[in-house]
């Protein structure tokens, strides 16, 4: 009887020790399998907003801290609305006329603060611009709002400086639709690229020396993107000017897009070569349509 009582006491004590060890936060399996860290929201893909631009206008897409995005732009110089189909085919739909090429790299220097460098071969324009993603759509907040600031200059940022300020207001609907309203004020828009010339090679260097009055332009860009398949999109934008210098027609653009991992390829059709804020503010020419593309790569 004594031996049985001793064995029963040992079993009870061992069971109590195991239960205490399992409940202890510093011991057992709990210490070898910590809870995973919460993922940065800015790094999570939003299927409705996969890129930092619509066609030329900015979106409200955030960028994770110290991560980057590279963008390459091409706007081929052949006018698709000029000549017969056979003539267009012989020129490979404008590719034989050369292209206006631009490249951009942006980085998030702080949480929700982006800085970007962009250079376009159109008048050797360099644009420095930044974006602050002040408000992000979530919960009871129905929209995202980002503040924009920019300064650009021609001849590799040596002359004809054109500052700009504005904002992006965006609204995402589910995982398929995103809409954008982009009010921007750009200064010195008449001088930033001299005359609007949309035939590649006809812009003479002597035109750069002609004096221009200093004009500004206020526009409200309207754009949207629809996901029509798993990773296929259709994007459109138009840039009506509401005040100031507004020659010719509002700029517009349409693109068919495909996302593949961190890459985004957009086949674009626009009525302007412009890709910076001041260039887009100056509008596009009547009876023109140019083939082009945007190619973007996220580094996160």
- The 8-class DSSP code of residue 141 comes to B
Q: Are 168 and 59 in contact (CB under 8 A)?
A: yes
Classified as helix, coil or strand, 15 is helix
What phi and psi, each to the nearest 5 degrees, are found at residue 17? -65, -40
| Alpha-carbon distance values, 84 to 99, 162, 254, 267, 288 (Å) | 21, 38, 22, 22, 14
| Alpha-carbon distance values, 209 to 13, 142, 193, 204 (Å) | 95, 48, 11, 10
22 has pLDDT over 80 = no
In sequence order, the 6+-apart residues with CB closer than 8 A to the CB of 158 are: none
- The CA distance from 130 to 250, in Å, is 24
Of residues 2 and 211, the one with the higher pLDDT is: 211
CA nearest 288: which of 40, 81, 9, 11? 81
Percent of the chain at pLDDT above 90? 71
Mind listing the domains of the chain with CATH numbers? 45-299 (2.40.160.40)
| pLDDT at residue 210, as a whole number | 56
pLDDT tier, 25 (very low <50, low <70, confident <90, very high otherwise): very low
pTM of the model: 0.80
pLDDT tens, 196-251? 444 444 444 444 455 567 899 999 999 999 999 899 999 999 999 999 999 999 99
- Beta-bridged to residue 71, according to DSSP, are 104, 296
| pLDDT at residue 212, as a whole number | 64
pLDDT tier, 193 (very low <50, low <70, confident <90, very high otherwise): low
Three-state SS sequence of 75-112: EEEEECCCCCHHHHHHCCCCHHHCEEEEEEEEEEEECC
The string over 96-107, giving b where at least 16 C-beta atoms fall within 10 Å of a residue's C-beta and e elsewhere, is ebebbbbebebb
| pLDDT at residue 259, as a whole number | 97
18 has pLDDT over 50 = no
16 has pLDDT over 90 = no
| pLDDT at residue 13, as a whole number | 47
Classified as helix, coil or strand, 219 is strand
- The CA distance from 77 to 63, in Å, is 32
pLDDT tier, 194 (very low <50, low <70, confident <90, very high otherwise): low
Instruction: Please tell me which of 9-23, 186-200, 210-224 the model is most confident about, judged by mean pLDDT.
Output: 210-224
Mean pLDDT of the chain: 85
pLDDT tens, 258-283? 999 999 999 999 999 999 999 999 99
| pLDDT at residue 87, as a whole number | 79
- DSSP string of 142-196? --EEEEEEEEEEHHHHTEEEEEEEEEEEEEEETTTEEEEEEEEEEESHHHHSSS-
pLDDT tens, 79-129? 998 888 887 888 888 888 889 999 999 999 999 999 999 999 999 999 999
């Amino acid at each position: 009887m004594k031996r049985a009582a001793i064995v029963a006491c040992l079993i009870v004590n061992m069971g109590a020790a195991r239960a205490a060890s399992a409940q202890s936060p510093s011991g057992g399996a709990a210490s070898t399998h910590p809870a995973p860290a919460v993922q940065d929201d800015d790094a999570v893909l939003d299927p409705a907003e996969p890129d930092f631009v619509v066609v030329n206008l900015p979106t409200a897409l955030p960028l994770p801290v110290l991560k980057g995005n590279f963008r390459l732009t091409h706007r081929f110089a052949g006018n698709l609305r000029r000549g017969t189909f056979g003539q267009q085919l012989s020129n490979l739909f404008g590719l034989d006329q050369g292209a206006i090429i631009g490249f951009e790299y942006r980085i998030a220097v702080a949480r929700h603060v982006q800085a970007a460098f962009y250079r376009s071969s159109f008048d050797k324009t360099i644009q420095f611009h930044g974006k602050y993603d002040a408000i992000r759509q979530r919960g009871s907040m129905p929209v995202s709002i980002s503040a924009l600031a920019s300064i650009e200059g021609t001849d590799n940022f040596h002359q004809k400086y054109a500052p700009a300020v504005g904002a992006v207001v965006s609204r995402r609907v589910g995982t398929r639709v995103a809409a954008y309203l982009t009010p921007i004020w750009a200064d010195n828009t008449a001088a930033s690229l001299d005359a609007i010339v949309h035939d590649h090679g006809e812009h003479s260097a002597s035109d750069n020396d002609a004096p221009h009055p200093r004009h500004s332009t206020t526009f409200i860009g309207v754009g949207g993107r629809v996901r029509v398949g798993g990773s296929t999109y259709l994007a459109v934008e138009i840039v009506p000017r509401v005040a100031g210098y507004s020659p010719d027609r509002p700029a517009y653009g349409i693109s068919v897009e495909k996302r593949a991992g961190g890459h985004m390829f957009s086949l674009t059709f626009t009525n302007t070569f412009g890709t910076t804020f001041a260039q887009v503010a100056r509008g596009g020419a009547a009876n023109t349509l140019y083939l082009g593309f945007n190619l973007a790569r996220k580094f996160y």
